């Protein structure tokens, strides 16, 4: 569970790190409305993955000064709430929203600790967590992901865009720099396991890999090309120089595979599937699919005909239709019938796969 020490640690870091001057400096570097690295470019890449409808409710956790929240409201007509633990960034976010032409969309901002926020369960169509998960201490990461799941409506989607650890390096300077920046990185495998254990279904996973390294390089080159112009403001000059050094450090260690960047789109299953035994039923079906996805000669036991194996695959596809129907709130009776009472052409039954199917039916009820 989350501890008060963790919350206090995050609050103290944000209050110290995000001042009026640092926010101004980061916005100079990253573009109007953005204080995070690659903010505008990543918003334009990821927003179409959500493609919300007009009036859809979106919760942006760790919203910063609201670049993505304002974009989703302006372009798609969404109703967006941005929350952040930093009073300073929320103050700027409200100003940016007030001066934006949002059309039919709406944006509001609240100062809130995500772990303590009073947010209704099942209230949102989308939850976004961008460049913030890395700053949550290890002891609150799983509880935070649990909360995102609760905040979503059935069928709602969760977008996570952040950093992950790749190869562990026993380098004291690396560890100290990450600690000073309040970085708490998990391996990709751990993040995916958390999402699965909570009940999410991963729809899309993109490890940006070399694209991430290239993006850092472009940011460094852009800064160096604009350095004279950017440094005219004495109040932010030192902040910009520090950020430039930090980007060079990121480039060095990203090339060494110490960390990388990803985005994950995950879905909360429809309420018809949110029942005891669902996760086991999915595992049963996935295991059956894995068994039949091997090369044909490898998976076909001696004495079993090629036609029998083909029939088993069709039965598995029918089982997939059952879960798809349930997810969409439709009757599963016709899909079940397609393999409980198969046509004559499919009655050369593969007993092993039939056993998987009946286990699947039993668990899903």
Digit-coded pLDDT (tens) for 138-184: 999 999 999 999 999 999 999 999 999 999 888 999 999 999 999 99
pLDDT at 309: 39
pLDDT at 245: 92
pLDDT at 16: 85
Per residue in 89-103, pLDDT (tens digit) is 999 999 999 999 999
Per residue in 266-295, pLDDT (tens digit) is 999 985 444 444 454 455 555 554 454 444
From 186, 175, 100, 108, select the one nearest 140 (Cα to Cα): 186
pLDDT at 111: 95
Instruction: Look at 329 and 129; give whichever has higher pLDDT.
Output: 129
Q: Taking CA 249 as the corner, what is the angle to CA 244 and CA 250, rounded to the nearest 5 degrees?
A: 95
Residue 165 CB-density burial (10 A; 0-12 exposed, 13-18 middle, 19+ buried):
buried
pLDDT at 231: 78
pLDDT at 356: 46
Q: Pick the range with the lowest mean pLDDT from 16-30, 45-59, 190-204.
A: 16-30
pLDDT at 326: 52
Assessment of whether the complete model's pTM goes beyond 0.85: no
- Given this structure, which CATH class describes domain 4-268? alpha beta
Residue 157 pairs in a beta bridge with 126, 267
Mean pLDDT, range 33-43, rounded to an integer: 90
pLDDT at 317: 54
pLDDT at 227: 86
Mean pLDDT, range 336-350, rounded to an integer: 45
State the greatest distance between any 2 C-alpha atoms of the chain, in Å, as a whole number. Answer: 82
Q: Is the pLDDT of residue 213 over 70?
A: yes
pLDDT at 246: 93
Mean pLDDT, range 305-317, rounded to an integer: 44
Q: Pick the range with the lowest mean pLDDT from 89-93, 224-228, 314-318.
A: 314-318
Q: How much of the chain exceeds pLDDT 70, in percent?
A: 72
pLDDT at 153: 96
Cα separation of 78 and 103, whole Å?
A: 10
Q: Is the pLDDT of residue 125 over 80?
A: yes
Cα separation of 83 and 108, whole Å?
A: 9
pLDDT at 295: 42
Q: Per the structure block, which two tokens stand in for 8? A: 């206090």
Contact 114, 61 (CB under 8 A): yes
Averaged pLDDT score across all residues of the chain: 80
Where are the domain boundaries for CATH 3.40.50.150 in the chain? 4-268
Q: Is the pLDDT of residue 13 over 60?
A: yes
Q: DSSP assignment, residue 22?
A: H
201-207 β-sheet, strand order:
106-111, 79-84, 57-61, 124-130, 152-165, 259-267, 201-207
pLDDT at 234: 78
pLDDT tier for residue 360 given thresholds of 50, 70 and 90? very low
pLDDT tier for residue 308 given thresholds of 50, 70 and 90? very low
pLDDT at 168: 86
pLDDT tier for residue 307 given thresholds of 50, 70 and 90? very low
Radius of gyration of the chain (CA): 24
């Amino acid at each position: 569970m989350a501890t008060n020490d963790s919350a206090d640690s995050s609050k103290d870091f944000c209050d110290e790190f995000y001042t009026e001057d640092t926010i101004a400096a980061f916005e100079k570097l990253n573009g109007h409305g953005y204080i995070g690295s690659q903010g505008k470019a990543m918003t334009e890449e990821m927003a179409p993955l959500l493609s919300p409808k007009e009036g859809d409710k979106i919760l942006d956790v760790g919203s910063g000064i609201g670049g993505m929240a304002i974009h989703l409201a302006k372009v798609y007509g969404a109703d967006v709430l941005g929350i952040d633990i930093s009073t300073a960034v929320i103050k700027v976010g409200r100003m940016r929203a007030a001066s934006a032409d949002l059309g039919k969309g709406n944006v509001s901002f609240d100062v809130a600790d995500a772990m303590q926020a009073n947010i209704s369960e099942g209230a949102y169509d989308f939850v976004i967590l961008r460049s913030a998960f890395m700053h949550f201490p290890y002891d609150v990461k799983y509880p935070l992901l649990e909360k995102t799941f609760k905040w979503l409506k059935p069928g709602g989607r969760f977008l996570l865009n952040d950093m992950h650890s790749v190869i562990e390096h026993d380098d004291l300077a690396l560890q100290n720099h990450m600690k000073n920046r309040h970085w708490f990185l998990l391996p990709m495998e751990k993040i995916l396991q958390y999402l699965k254990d909570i009940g999410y279904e991963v729809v899309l996973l993109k490890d940006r890999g070399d694209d991430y390294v290239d993006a850092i390089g472009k940011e460094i080159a852009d800064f160096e090309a604009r350095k004279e112009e950017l440094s005219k403001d004495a109040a932010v000059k030192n902040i910009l120089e520090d950020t430039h050094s930090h980007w060079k450090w990121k480039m060095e260690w990203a090339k060494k595979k110490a960390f990388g960047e990803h985005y994950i789109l995950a879905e909360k299953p429809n309420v018809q599937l949110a029942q005891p035994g669902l996760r086991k039923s999915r595992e049963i079906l996935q295991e059956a699919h894995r068994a039949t996805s091997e090369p044909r000669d490898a998976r076909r036991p001696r004495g079993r005909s090629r036609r029998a194996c083909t029939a088993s695959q069709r039965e598995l596809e029918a089982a997939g239709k059952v879960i798809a129907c349930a997810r969409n709130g439709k009757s599963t009776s016709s899909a079940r019938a397609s393999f409980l009472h198969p046509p004559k052409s499919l009655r050369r039954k593969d007993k092993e796969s039939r056993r998987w199917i009946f286990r699947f039916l039993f668990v899903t009820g």
